[in-house]
Amino acid sequence: MILFFRKIREKLIQKNQVTRYLVYAVGEIGLVMIGILLALQVNNWNVDKQSKKWQTDFLVDTQNELEKDKRQLEEIIKFQESKELKSLELIPLLEKPIPDKKDKIDSLFSYLSSSNATFFPNVGVFENALFAGKIDLVENDELKYTIMDLYMRSYKRLVYNGEIYDERYDLVS
């Protein structure tokens, strides 16, 4: 193809047909521009395809992390409800101490002071997206800002409250 155009150019120059050569040159420039524009369009399609794939992967991975967090929170709620029941069982025993209930009191107190359940959210997918600057690839703005609010505000507050609770729990223990 290049040889074909080269031969045409040489013939036009040899015959001293400057006007035809200029028309030919403009046509060749136009072909090059069309080629560049097509290459750019293909590149844009590839970038869009990669962005959509990243967005899908991000949302699926975020959903998986949120499901893990939900299970963790459900376990913490069960644990705290169990501690509440044990506390309610312990209160009347402490109000009217009975010597033969000492073992029961010790057992309940031991259970209540043995451990604490703290929430540790899964934030890897979100933080990777945030640090890579790809969070803006999420097209649904409402969803994007809801996810950002959850991770950057709500989770941070939960972790902070958990740290305060752990400190107070350690003091009481």
Q: How far is CA 30 from CA 17, 21, 33, in A?
A: 20, 14, 5
Q: What is the pLDDT of residues 95-113, one digit of tens each?
A: 877 777 778 878 887 777 7
pLDDT for 38: 95
pLDDT band at 173 (very low <50, low <70, confident <90, very high): low
Q: What is the pLDDT of residues 59-81, one digit of tens each?
A: 999 999 999 999 999 998 998 89
User: What CA–CA distance (Å, rounded) separates 145 from 157?
Assistant: 17
Domain span at residue 20? 2-113+120-172
Of 16 and 132, more confident: 132
Domains contained in the chain, number? 1
Of 150 and 9, more confident: 150
pTM for the model: 0.70
